[in-house]
Amino acid sequence: MLNEIHKQLDALYPEMVEIRRFLHQYPELSFHETKTAQYIADFYEKLGIPYQTNVGGNGVIATLKGGKPGKTVALRADFDALPIQDEKDVPYKSKVDGVMHACGHDGHTATLLMLAKTMMSFQEDLPGTIVFLHQHAEEYAPGGAKPIIESGAIDHVDAVFGTHLWATTPFGVLQTTKDVFMAGTDRFTITIHGQGGHGAYPHETKDAIVIGSQLITQLQQIVSRRLDPLETAVLTIGVFEAGTTFNVIADKAKIVGTVRFLNTAVQEQVIEEMEKVIKGVCVSSDASYSFDYVKGYPPLVNHAEEAELVLKAGEKIEEIHTAEEVLPVMGGEDFAYYTMKKPGAYFFTGAQKEGNEFPHHHPKFDIEERALPVAAKTLIQAYFDYQK
């Protein structure tokens, strides 16, 4: 039956590309994906597959019950976009100013929709139940996975699998791990309150720019000098805002950044060290401050048995020539919440496009569309193998 499923997915490839390119032209930001959610719901309405809308927010879940007994497995695809201006010169360029599918979620959605359409033809012979889990708001914490889980929508599910079309991995390569796969992702905002004044009289001020500069330098020493070298963490400053003009000393500075980690003990240590450094620098400069630290997604930890199943599934897909275990990546994913709740695994499907090798979240990001049916084949192979 799987050979026939693969043939049908290949036959549906043009429609898969058409859906992906349509969604690419009409992206919606996290928590605002109402039209995309409606598009997904309309698709299942036409297929005649039962579905729920507004799951945990804008989530859409469709359920295909097979004609034979078996386990219930959720296959997840996200569908939100990013606040990025699309700079690609392609016919399917985003038509929404300042919003772009710069991470491949349009491809994830097209993959799962076409897999659902395909599996309708095999429903009578299907063991178990497929839950097509279309998730909103992956890109921005608190994300869509957590409220979907809290809604009870996957309480009955035995396992969850998901894939990311990965634009920096060559086509034909599948990657995963049997443990921690992706990092925990937090964000923070530090506001320094100094005392402004005339640029000619610095001794009468508390220069927020100088204080902020010292702080940024010392924050970088947390990872390099305060953590065990065998542990992994990233502390990145993405925003440093201060000042209004060339001859005025700033009274306030804003620093915004992210912390990435692979285990929560390191997360707590980084937070503790940050508090010490911020307090030390500001007190020594006679300045006050505020420190707002927001915990985001936890690390994504695959279950070993399910990850091994994915690797074996990849070996059975004709287009995949390499199914490999890799080191964790420091990007984050709220799929982490699913594997905290249920057995499951997440994997990368190589989708590097020749001549367009820009990374995720880049204004010229694009994917190799031939990877879409490969992702679908791997997901359904994992589904069938899990039934055994």
Confidence of residue 294 (pLDDT cuts 50, 70, 90): very high
What's the confidence (pLDDT) of residue 218? Answer: 98
For the question of residue 138 being annotated catalytic, the response is yes
Confidence of residue 144 (pLDDT cuts 50, 70, 90): very high
Domain boundary among 297, 315, 336: 297
The CATH number for 241's domain is 3.30.70.360
In this structure, are residues 139 and 325 in contact, taking their beta carbons and an 8 Å threshold? no
Q: Are residues 259 and 130 in the same domain?
A: no
Q: Are residues 22 and 116 in the same domain?
A: yes
Q: Is 101 left (phi over 0), alpha (psi -120 to 50) or beta?
A: beta
What's the confidence (pLDDT) of residue 357? Answer: 85
pLDDT surpasses 90 at 160:
yes
Q: Are residues 223 and 134 in the same domain?
A: no
For the question of residue 324 being annotated catalytic, the response is no
Domain boundary among 238, 265, 297: 297
pLDDT surpasses 90 at 141:
yes
Question: Which residue of the set 33, 80, 366, 369 is catalytic?
Answer: 80
Q: Say how far apart CA 297 and CA 142 lie, in whole Å.
A: 7
Q: Are residues 334 and 223 in the same domain?
A: no
Other C-beta atoms within 10 Å of 388: how many? 8
**Which residue range forms the structural domain that includes residue 275?**
184-297
Tally of structural domains, the chain? 2
Q: Are residues 34 and 176 in the same domain?
A: yes
Q: Are residues 163 and 203 in the same domain?
A: no
Q: Say how far apart CA 102 and CA 82 lie, in whole Å.
A: 6
pLDDT surpasses 90 at 175:
yes
Confidence of residue 245 (pLDDT cuts 50, 70, 90): very high
Confidence of residue 189 (pLDDT cuts 50, 70, 90): very high
Q: Are residues 59 and 161 in the same domain?
A: yes
Q: What is the number of H-type helices and E-type strands within the chain?
A: 10, 16
- Residues 162-171 have a mean pLDDT of 98
In this structure, are residues 287 and 176 in contact, taking their beta carbons and an 8 Å threshold? no
Model confidence pLDDT, tens digit, residues 216-232: 999 999 999 999 999 99
Binding-site residues for Mn(2+), in ranges, read 103, 105, 139, 164, 361
Q: Residue 318 is encoded by which pair of tokens?
A: 């004709």
Question: Which residue of the set 138, 273, 333, 368 is catalytic?
Answer: 138
Q: Are residues 72 and 156 in the same domain?
A: yes
In this structure, are residues 315 and 324 in contact, taking their beta carbons and an 8 Å threshold? no
The CATH number for 353's domain is 3.40.630.10
Q: Are residues 208 and 356 in the same domain?
A: no
- Residues 28-50 have a mean pLDDT of 98
